[in-house]
Amino acid sequence: MIGGIEAGGTKFVLAVGPTPTGIAARHVIPTRTPAETLAEAMEWFAGQASIEALGIASFGPVDLDLASPTWGHITRTPKPGWSDCDLAGHFARGLGVPVGFDTDVNGAAIAEAAHGAGRGVSSLAYVTVGTGIGGGLVLNGQPVHGAAHPEMGHVFVRRAVDDTDFAGHCPIHGDCLEGLASGPAIIARWGQLLSHLPPDHPAHERIAGYLAQLCYSLFAMTAAEVVVLGGGVTKAPGLLDRVREGAGALSNDYLPGGARHRIEAPGLGENSGLTGALMLAEAARAARS
């Protein structure tokens, strides 16, 4: 058996199972202080069949540098109490098993590439659009870390010419993508969730247009075959089709990858991140043996 944790800012999702897609038991706990949250998670794993390895797909920013003394830590976060939390070390010591560690969105990306909407492709971006906007990237079949990990919610997109009456909701960048298209930005602007606004409300076209720019930029910059769009905002009816249309218009049939570029909903539903966590556990077990 292997174990997985999708560590999020509002909840931790825990699971054990024989394989990444065979979840035998699953449990959700609310995210509170690190001490409370990690203790409750440890307690749950103690009551399960014993596991040979654990994978953690975590909210960020995190340290993914295997040569760093703070590998597996959450680094500088505005979330009270969580800065410098040694997430990987806590469970490695507590459970006595090898631990694999990556961002929540890189976890979702490896899972969607292996078992979800991108099954069979070697390049895929997973973007979640919810409380914030974050993205993970698999290229050449491997999760991308680089200098740390992508932070693709904070790219700048071109404002629509008639969209000048909203300064943006990001405390760092104002009207970066997250400042325009995250759930809180939509509520700050229109007072409602996107899915609660009527289908002819201009918000749908705005948000789709900004997300289309991210998708097109990912295609143009990384040549990724598939962009998976997850998170609450992307569930608004018709949104994905609008995003596809917008990205197609931006490309104007130019990109050499052509129809190999696709924009998809998560193939694993709500389980992309958790499945990714279990894949990280599998990799950690393989690396140990």
- Binding residues for a copy of itself, rule: CB under 8 A, are 60-62, 75-76, 122-123, 135, 137, 139-140, 142, 144-152, 154-159, 172-173, 213, 216-225, 250, 252, 254-258, 260-261
What is the rounded distance in angstroms from the CA atom of residue 8 to the CA atom of residue 37?
A: 11
Which residues in 33-54 are b (16+ Cβ under 10 Å) and which e? ebeebbeebeebbeebeebbbb
Q: How far is the CB of 109 from a copy of itself (least distance, A)?
A: 13
Q: Give the Cα separation of 286 and 78 in Å (integer).
A: 35
CB of 192 to a copy of itself, least distance (A): 27
> 164 vs 289, which CB is nearer to a copy of itself?
164
Measured from the CB atom, the residue of 103 and 275 that comes closer to a copy of itself is 103
How far apart are alpha carbons 94 and 213 in whole angstroms? 44
Work out how close the CB of 210 gets to a copy of itself at its nearest, in angstroms, rounded to a whole number.
Answer: 12
- CB of 200 or CB of 221, closer to a copy of itself: 221
* 286 φ/ψ sector (left φ>0, alpha ψ -120 to 50, else beta): alpha
CB of 16 to a copy of itself, least distance (A): 29
Using CA atoms, how far apart are residues 101 and 182, in angstroms rounded to an integer? 26
Considering beta carbons, is residue 45 or 126 the nearer one to a copy of itself? 126
Q: Closest Cα to residue 218, out of 181, 182, 177?
A: 177
**Which C-beta is closer to a copy of itself: that of 39 or that of 255?**
255
Nearest distance in Å: CB 265, a copy of itself? 19
